[in-house]
Structure 1
Amino acid sequence: MTTKTSREIINDGLWNNNPALVQVLGLCPLLAVTSTVVNAIGLGLATLIVLMGSNLAVSLIRNFVSESVRLPAFVMIIASFVTCTELLMQAFTYELYQILGIFIPLIVTNCAILGRADAFASKTTPGPALLDGLMMGLGFLFVLVVLGGLRELIGQGTLFVDMNLLLGPAAADWVMRPFESYPDVLFMVLPPGAFIGLGLLIALKNGIDNRLSERRKASAPVVTPGSKRVRVTGDVS
């Protein structure tokens, strides 16, 4: 495969090939748990840990696994990191783990993780593979948090509710209520609100990409067929 630079890997993970907005992978947990910011951060961090760990492990064993058992080996590696993440959440953020429920074990079947392991980590060295896992994880986490914040703000009129479930008692007072006597918009908390919110984010990204593309085309020099560059030397009277 063509070797990517660190800058290309970063741009792909955060924007150009974002797993949620461009590849449209991992939609089941993304749409299901983003009713609040704390749920989104919890799932996003869990996915980030699994992505980084699995990418690194797959890259390390890529030359020792035969083609016939390649995918089963990748799934076992991902499942191992998901189990470790589950145990960590049970130990330190048990209430949040209970809220997220089945969507933590379902990280094993997240197409974004298996896709990066097969398409990138299995074909490159550990350094770029780890960076790719970090950037893809951060890109996925960013979309989760933005979507969770959008749904929580419109649906309940709050931000950062129950952050103490993730960050401890010190974050209990982080809750923000921008509006007084806000009427809850239940629609945004329900699944249809998740689809609409994600659609708006995808449309926003596509609009930004189109605008940037138009600017690049407008700033590019226009070269017509048959045109010649004339170099003038000396004084012109």
Structure 2
Amino acid sequence: MKEGLWEQNVVFSQLLAMCPTMAVTTSGTNGLGMGLATTAVLIVSNILVSMIRHTVSSQVRIPVFVVLIATLVTVVDMAMNAWLHDLYKVLGLFIALIVVNCAILGRAEAFAVKSGVAASAVDGLAMGLGFTGALTFIGLIREFLGSGTLFAQASNLLGLSFAFLEMKVPGYGGALLMILPPGGFAILGFLLAGKRVMERRLDERAKQQTGDAAPVAA
């Protein structure tokens, strides 16, 4: 769980799925919707790959995994079109492009094909939650700076039960640049730099604590 959420985060550590990260994070609602759709595909694909890992030979496993992921994405695409049509119209082509998200095939190849069903399901959940958190966080920052809102149209896109998330800053019109691609790249760069600084300080603190404990143990 720690690897999926922080140490091996799909966006902030592995720098995968940059296309949807930049394209759909114009609002927190869009980022949340894309992240949850990808999480569903990650969990189910990891489970299925783990179940068939002893059946599929190594020579053809990549094509089989791709077809499996494409089938799951098609199901998710049709389900969102049926029950979350407004969100489906906003995300558009990027739902189908979940198929080429390197994180999904990467986890199937790096973890699910070598692990049991339960562990693969947890791995898919952790990676999916980390991806969802990254997209939602970037989307919220861009939305707040760009339009002065948080989770705009959440009730229309995700359902009435998400209406409590909608907020607006009174008297602030926003800066359009933050919603445009240059703003997205700038925000992602600052977040990556912040994560690196935080990790460095945590490592230094851990080394310092280890150094202080060594003389005591001696």
TM-score computed with the length of structure 2 as normaliser: 0.94
Structure 2 distance, partners of 1:196, 1:134, is 28
Displacement of 1:206 in angstroms is 1.1
Runs of at least 4 residues off by over 4 Å: none
Structure 2 distance, partners of 1:171, 1:120, is 34
Name the aligned partner's letter for residue 203 of structure 2: S
Deviations 1:67-121 (A, max 9, x none): 1211000001101110111111011110110110100000000001110011111
Displacement of 1:170 in angstroms is 4.6
RMSD (Å), alpha carbons = 1.6
Q: What does residue 58 of structure 1 align with?
A: 49
Displacement of 1:172 in angstroms is 4.3
Q: Does 1:81 align with 2:60?
A: no
Quick check: which one's helix share is greater?
Answer: 2
Deviations 1:110-143 (A, max 9, x none): 0011100111111111111110000000000000
Displacement of 1:171 in angstroms is 3.8
1:189-208 residue pairs with structure 2 within 5 A? 189-208=179-198
Does the Cα contact within 8 Å between 2:87 and 2:158 map onto a contact in 1? no
Q: What does residue 161 of structure 1 align with?
A: 152
Structure 2 distance, partners of 1:106, 1:94, is 17
Q: What does residue 178 of structure 2 align with?
A: 188
Structure 2 distance, partners of 1:171, 1:134, is 22
Q: What does residue 212 of structure 1 align with?
A: 202
Q: Does 1:23 align with 2:14?
A: yes
Q: What does residue 63 of structure 2 align with?
A: 72
Single out whichever of 126-135 and 201-210 deviates more from structure 2. Answer: 201-210
Structure 1 distance, partners of 2:83, 2:187, is 30
Does the Cα contact within 8 Å between 2:45 and 2:72 map onto a contact in 1? yes
- 1:99 alignment partner, one of 90, 94, 98: 90
Structure 1 distance, partners of 2:208, 2:177, is 42
Bigger-Rg structure (1/2): 1
Q: What does residue 4 of structure 1 align with?
A: none
Q: Does 1:117 align with 2:108?
A: yes
> In 2 relative to 1, CA 60–219 (structure 1 residues): closer, same or farther, beyond 3 Å?
same
> In 2 relative to 1, CA 221–173 (structure 1 residues): closer, same or farther, beyond 3 Å?
closer
Q: Does 1:40 align with 2:31?
A: yes
Does the Cα contact within 8 Å between 2:33 and 2:158 map onto a contact in 1? no
> In 2 relative to 1, CA 166–194 (structure 1 residues): closer, same or farther, beyond 3 Å?
same
Equivalent position SS for 2:167: coil
Provide structure 1 residue ranges, at least 5 long, that are not aligned to the other structure.
1-9, 230-237
Name the aligned partner's letter for residue 45 of structure 2: S
Structure 1 distance, partners of 2:211, 2:84, is 56
Equivalent position SS for 1:221: helix
